[in-house]
Amino acid sequence: MSDKPKIVVTGAAGFIGFHLSRRLLEEGREVVGFDNLNDYYPVSLKQARLNQLAASPGFDFIQGDLSDPRAVEAVFLEHQPTVVVNLAAQAGVRYSIENPQVYIDSNITGFFNILEACRHHPVQHLVYASSSSVYGNQQKTPFSVSDDVSHPISLYAATKKSNELMAYTYSHLYAIPATGLRFFTVYGPWGRPDMAYFSFTDKLIRGEPIRVFNHGDMKRDFTYIDDIVQGVVSLLDSPPQGTPPHRLYNIGNNQPVDLMHFIKTLESNLMREKLIGKPAVMEFLPMQPGDVYQTYADVDALMRDFNFKPSTSIEEGLAHFVSWYKAYYMEKSYSAGGE
């Protein structure tokens, strides 16, 4: 095995956690995955991701919940990680309006337990997921980490901003080197079924109309999963050195895409793969509560510090997603595949 630090990845059965874990294993790292395998979306997809990871040497998986301090403590005691990547969280802006308690349990209590574990079992680097949702509905673009983010418009966004404050405080008090990453609309193969591109694909294949909010007048900084993973990997072994040792970065494509262009690109890829035979039928609706008009990442700091900038176009990224979707759901070529 590698002599590089052992890494705990929470949310390892999730979308980003799976891709990051797979990349680290390919590099010969030892990865301890931690996930509660909740049923926010089909557990069979999470299990299929884990099956992919389990085929690699150097991967251990622990099923547990971040909101259980004893479970978190046990991982640190048994595996003594030197790097922790906290990707476990209850995701989804809209679901946070329907079921707020789960966001407090997972995103606030769970992250507190991670910070406490890092405090009592010091690590070289804690990397944690934040979100572009912390920017709310601000008009200034692109969004910079120096911008005011004191006006979240969903509970999900509020929990992510809380994570940043909590991490900063623990870095200040206990010198925990911590890096927060504000992810911008991550998409790609093995993605989350609750995301728009995924649900659009499901509905289009079934011949159902898709719901398009704000009458299609929205922009998103769609960021392909491989770019997200490369961004995380580029900084993993370079913990912050400041006082306190805490920093924030945006990871976004730096190229917002009009929602209607996104839908047409998805549609053309589905036609190319012969998964649909006619254009999408769209139901245009007003903006949903908690949603934002646009996201747009300023990634100058990431380029300055790590010479890295996401670069995958929406055309290339959606082509990869549709090819995977066809193999997984239509051809059932993955273990535990197909719903």
- Residues with catalytic annotation? 156
Q: Give Cα 327 distance to the centre of its chain.
A: 23
Print burial letters for 243-256: b (CB count within 10 Å at least 16), e (below 16): ebbbbbbbbbbbbb
Cα gap 54→4, rounded to integer Å:
20
β-pairing, 219-220 vs 257-258, is: antiparallel
Q: How far is CA 97 from CA 133, 262, 269, 288, 323, in A?
A: 14, 26, 33, 11, 33
Q: Is 307 left (phi over 0), alpha (psi -120 to 50) or beta?
A: left
Residue 112: phi, psi to the nearest 5? -60, -40
First-to-last C-alpha distance (Å) of the chain = 36
Cα angle 59, 60, 65 (rounded to 5 degrees) comes to: 130
- E strand or H helix at 156: helix 155-174
Cα gap 250→149, rounded to integer Å:
13
**What does the DSSP assignment read for 283-316?**
EE-PPPTT--SB--B--HHHHHHHS------HHH
**For the chain, how big is the Rg over CA atoms in Å?**
19
DSSP 280: P
